[in-house]
Chains A and B, each alone.
Chain A
Amino acid sequence: MSMSVDFKTYVDQACRAAEEFVNIYYETMDKRRHAITRLYLDKASLIWNGNAVTGMEGLKKFFDMLPSSEFQVNILDCQPVHEQATQAQTTILVVTSGTVKFDGNKQHFFNQNFLLTAQSTPNSTVWKIASDCFRFQDWAGH
């Protein structure tokens, strides 16, 4: 950690970013699905119930295919990620859990974690998803 910014500030910043981001993300997923890929980095990776989706094209297709959703986030937590892991790109780990109902399917409990990376523009900091891992809680696997 660079000495100039102390840990507490990092944590506060991370928490604020996480809260804001999660609000935007799930609202976009539910109400403006076509715009969801704007929240992802070009080379972001998504693992959805064990299936990997990469690249903007892949993500676009995937989210198109996914039926319309109704998310309810019950918990949220985040941690700042140390720069040693990110080569000085400010990154936070965000974890959420809640329920989701996809059109035509039953309701599921889900767990999701994101790695968000800050992209600074002159006016503000935009957080984008570098990786997204989503799983139904009752996804039993093989």
Chain B
Amino acid sequence: KFVLQNTHSDMYHQQKYALPLQKYGNYSNEEYSMDNRRVFQQRGRNYTWHKFDRKDYNFEHTGAPYAVGLNKKKRRWNDDDRTFLSAWDDRKHKESKMSYNAQNGTRESWFKVTIPSGRNYDKTWLMNSIMSICSVPFTPVDFHYDKNQARFFVQDASTASALKDASLKICDEENQKIIIFVRPSIVPYSVKSYFTPKQMEQIKLTMMKRYDVSQKSLDLRKFRFDRDLMSCDIDMMLNRRCCMNATLQIIQSNIPELLSLNLCNNKLYQLDGLSEVVEKAPQVKILNLSKNKLRSVSELEKVKELKLEELWLEGNPLCRTFQNESAYASAIRDQFPTLIRLDGKELLSQTVMNNENPQLRKESYKEPEIIRDLVVQFLKEYYSIYDSGDRHGLLSAYHDEACFSLTIPFNSCDSDLSNLEEYFKHNRDLIKLKDSYTRMKLLKHTNRAIVDSLSTLPKTQHDFYSFWVDMSLCTEVMLCFSVNGVFKEVEGKYQGCVRAFTRTFVTVPKSSSSMYIINDKMILRNSSPREIQKPFIPLPTVSPSLPKSTLSEKHQEMVKSFSEQSGMKLEYSQKCLDDNEWDYTKASKIFSILQTDGKIPKEFFK
């Protein structure tokens, strides 16, 4: 079957062109099996024939074969266009690569692919989606953005037609279909050789002179005014795409391991041309763009895939758009999360909170995740013991001089506070309580007093996984955080009652992975119906004590003391003493040695 049209699918041929074939009669294969020469030879005839057909828009093939159906405009007839009017033989898939690109004199056919609103999509996602749908594998060339559109170039018509097929086949996150326009184009910039080979050689030599092998750094500042280049009459304006491309090409071919690139003082207005550096010199970690003409931070998005450690931007108009240094630094850091130095100054590591003490600000803070883990671990252990039935195990959780107090808010809606009567005796509210003596009495001071006091409160079961924690303050020497959650009373008159609490802890470090409570403030109330909705998931509780029958009174005492002194759980304290023939001094010594060596696992400790 023979069709005089450059279209993509067989179906399309049949649908659209069956009719015309009938209309114009049969044409034998020989006459119209096209190859390049015949096209030109029969140029006159073909020209006429096609011109005739152009009246029928369905037949639109005015040199934009991939705009068939979409492109209803009459297109200008020129050499480029005509070259695509070669015929297809269905049996042998003849590519129209044989088109002759009159402008460049090279045997290439390039197509420009445009995706309107392409800028809105993540580049990788977009390209992967297109490639997965496209029946022909391809390499996009010169991917760039033009306003909102994403554009790239592909070589050869089969790719172009396959891409055209992909239009409206990919849906984005909002279920909008992505349109892909494909049009023939001239050779893209990067492929186009702007400089003669001799010039490229000279540029390369000049660049190599400016390359420091030991540092893997390339100094291209004020490149245009390089003596060598000027003497050879080569104008390397790096703000021009072709020059930047040539530069990047040379880097890619000769020094792809480049680590540091200095583009200071090159009148760069935008970084579109530099975006290729991500592919051509992916190792670049130090980039100097100072003293250019970059107006906005969004320019940096074009190179944001570089894992930069050091960046220089001073002397660009964009620097003046920020209110203060920290806004500037954080905007830059948003683009380059791995950045360590900006304009020569070290960026402080991200801190969750800050401390008013200026001395502490310079020290490095622990990362927020580490602190969060620390707090979660602490709370797990704390509430495990708290719910276990013997709160004396919490003694070592508190600092010697810690404070604790409890308050029950008076809320007019929560009229029935009587079921909190067990707690009321501890209720410390400075608004209602003016008596200094009682105020003192209700503030529990020292770890012993606190633990004794806690032990008198009803037995509880906390819903650990319902907790909300707010980290108020985090410094080198203290943490302040608030825990919000619910617990159930598990015995006594009010068994089953669910209470809601907010507990503010101030803690100081005990070791690198544990802490002492130095302030403990609890606010307690009955929970609202909403708060009881989710099921309770209690933590596994610590066994309150060892079977007493096997140990003598004396040994029990030893275990208790050893546990308090070492911070290890009762069972492990017992083990240590047991292993050392109940020689307290010996056991302590062994324990200290093992602990200094870090040989004792965390789980052994309370």
| Given A82-B401, A135-B502, residue A95 in contact with residue B407 (CB < 8 A) | yes
| Given A43-B355, A82-B518, residue A113 in contact with residue B439 (CB < 8 A) | no
For A42, what are the chain B residues with a Cβ–Cβ distance below 8 Å? 356
* Contact, CB under 8 Å: A44 / B506: no
* Contact, CB under 8 Å: B521 / A93: yes
- Choice from A55, A82, A99, A131 contacting B472 with Cβ under 8 Å: A131
- Within the complex, the shortest CB–CB distance from B99 to chain A, in Å, comes to 59
| Given A15-B430, A43-B356, A77-B521, residue A82 in contact with residue B407 (CB < 8 A) | no
| Given A113-B472, A113-B504, residue A84 in contact with residue B518 (CB < 8 A) | yes
* Contact, CB under 8 Å: A45 / B473: yes
| Given A50-B468, A95-B407, residue A115 in contact with residue B480 (CB < 8 A) | yes
- Within the complex, the shortest CB–CB distance from A140 to chain B, in Å, comes to 6
| Given A15-B439, A98-B409, residue A75 in contact with residue B353 (CB < 8 A) | no
* Contact, CB under 8 Å: B431 / A93: no
Identity of the chain A residue whose Cβ is nearest the Cβ of B352 in the assembled complex: A52
- Within the complex, the shortest CB–CB distance from A49 to chain B, in Å, comes to 9
* Contact, CB under 8 Å: B356 / A44: yes
- Choice from A74, A75, A115 contacting B473 with Cβ under 8 Å: A115
| Given A73-B431, A141-B468, residue A93 in contact with residue B504 (CB < 8 A) | yes
Q: Mark A61-93, 1 if CB is under 8 A from B, else 0.
A: 000000000000111111111101111010001
* A25 at the B interface (CB under 8 A): no
For A11, what are the chain B residues with a Cβ–Cβ distance below 8 Å? 439-440, 443
| Given A87-B477, A115-B472, residue A75 in contact with residue B356 (CB < 8 A) | no
| Given A8-B440, A82-B518, residue A76 in contact with residue B429 (CB < 8 A) | yes
| B131-161 CB contacts (< 8 Å) to partner A | none
For B411, what are the chain A residues with a Cβ–Cβ distance below 8 Å? 74, 99, 109
* Contact, CB under 8 Å: B477 / A75: no
For A84, what are the chain B residues with a Cβ–Cβ distance below 8 Å? 399, 477, 508, 518
* B260 at the A interface (CB under 8 A): no
- Choice from B430, B431, B506, B523 contacting A85 with Cβ under 8 Å: B506
* Contact, CB under 8 Å: A54 / B354: yes
For A79, what are the chain B residues with a Cβ–Cβ distance below 8 Å? 403, 405, 443, 519, 521
| B505-521 CB contacts (< 8 Å) to partner A | 506-508, 518-519, 521
* B410 at the A interface (CB under 8 A): yes
| B416-456 CB contacts (< 8 Å) to partner A | 428-432, 436, 439-440, 443, 445
For A37, what are the chain B residues with a Cβ–Cβ distance below 8 Å? none
* A137 at the B interface (CB under 8 A): yes
* B530 at the A interface (CB under 8 A): yes
Bound complex: CA A113 to CA B522 (Å): 11
* B252 at the A interface (CB under 8 A): no
Bound complex: CA A71 to CA B402 (Å): 31
- Within the complex, the shortest CB–CB distance from A3 to chain B, in Å, comes to 12
Bound complex: CA A80 to CA B518 (Å): 10
* B357 at the A interface (CB under 8 A): yes
For B484, what are the chain A residues with a Cβ–Cβ distance below 8 Å? 111, 135
For A52, what are the chain B residues with a Cβ–Cβ distance below 8 Å? 352
For B530, what are the chain A residues with a Cβ–Cβ distance below 8 Å? 138, 140
* Contact, CB under 8 Å: A80 / B403: yes
Q: Mark B467-484, 1 if CB is under 8 A from A, else 0.
A: 010111100011010101
- Size of the B side of the interface (Cβ < 8 Å), in residues, is 55
* B500 at the A interface (CB under 8 A): yes
Identity of the chain B residue whose Cβ is nearest the Cβ of A142 in the assembled complex: B468
Bound complex: CA A134 to CA B8 (Å): 64
* B528 at the A interface (CB under 8 A): yes
- Within the complex, the shortest CB–CB distance from B38 to chain A, in Å, comes to 70
| Given A77-B429, A79-B443, A85-B478, residue A47 in contact with residue B518 (CB < 8 A) | no
For A19, what are the chain B residues with a Cβ–Cβ distance below 8 Å? 430
Identity of the chain A residue whose Cβ is nearest the Cβ of B327 in the assembled complex: A57
Bound complex: CA A60 to CA B472 (Å): 18
* A126 at the B interface (CB under 8 A): no
* Contact, CB under 8 Å: A85 / B477: yes
* Contact, CB under 8 Å: A77 / B428: yes
- Within the complex, the shortest CB–CB distance from B325 to chain A, in Å, comes to 12
* A7 at the B interface (CB under 8 A): yes
Bound complex: CA A44 to CA B480 (Å): 13
Bound complex: CA A74 to CA B326 (Å): 39
- Within the complex, the shortest CB–CB distance from A123 to chain B, in Å, comes to 21
Bound complex: CA A1 to CA B403 (Å): 12
Identity of the chain A residue whose Cβ is nearest the Cβ of B467 in the assembled complex: A141
| Given A52-B352, A54-B353, A93-B506, residue A81 in contact with residue B407 (CB < 8 A) | no
- Choice from B355, B472, B518 contacting A81 with Cβ under 8 Å: B518
* Contact, CB under 8 Å: B356 / A76: no
Identity of the chain A residue whose Cβ is nearest the Cβ of B531 in the assembled complex: A140
Q: Mark B514-550, 1 if CB is under 8 A from A, else 0.
A: 0000110101010010110000000000000000000
For A8, what are the chain B residues with a Cβ–Cβ distance below 8 Å? 440
Identity of the chain B residue whose Cβ is nearest the Cβ of A79 in the assembled complex: B403
Bound complex: CA A98 to CA B399 (Å): 30
Q: Which of A1, A82, A87, A115 has the most CB of B within 10 A?
A: A82
* Contact, CB under 8 Å: B482 / A133: yes
Identity of the chain B residue whose Cβ is nearest the Cβ of A134 in the assembled complex: B470
* Contact, CB under 8 Å: A97 / B409: yes
Bound complex: CA A139 to CA B472 (Å): 17
Bound complex: CA A18 to CA B405 (Å): 15
* Contact, CB under 8 Å: B482 / A41: no
* Contact, CB under 8 Å: B468 / A74: no
Identity of the chain A residue whose Cβ is nearest the Cβ of B478 in the assembled complex: A85
| A1-15 CB contacts (< 8 Å) to partner B | 1, 7-8, 11-12, 15
Bound complex: CA A15 to CA B435 (Å): 11
- Within the complex, the shortest CB–CB distance from B522 to chain A, in Å, comes to 9
Q: Mark B554-594, 1 if CB is under 8 A from A, else 0.
A: 00000000000000000000000000000000000000000
* Contact, CB under 8 Å: B356 / A77: no
Interface of A toward B, CB cutoff 8 Å: 1, 7-8, 11-12, 15, 18-19, 41-45, 47, 50, 52, 54-55, 57, 73-82, 84-87, 89, 93, 95, 97-99, 109, 111, 113, 115, 117, 128, 130-133, 135, 137-138, 140-141
8 CB contacts below 8 A, A to B, read A8-B440, A15-B439, A75-B409, A75-B431, A95-B521, A97-B407, A111-B523, A131-B353
Beyond the given A54-B353, A111-B523, please list 9 additional residue pairs across the A-B interface where CB-CB is below 8 A. Answer: A11-B440, A42-B356, A79-B519, A93-B506, A109-B411, A113-B504, A115-B480, A135-B482, A140-B531
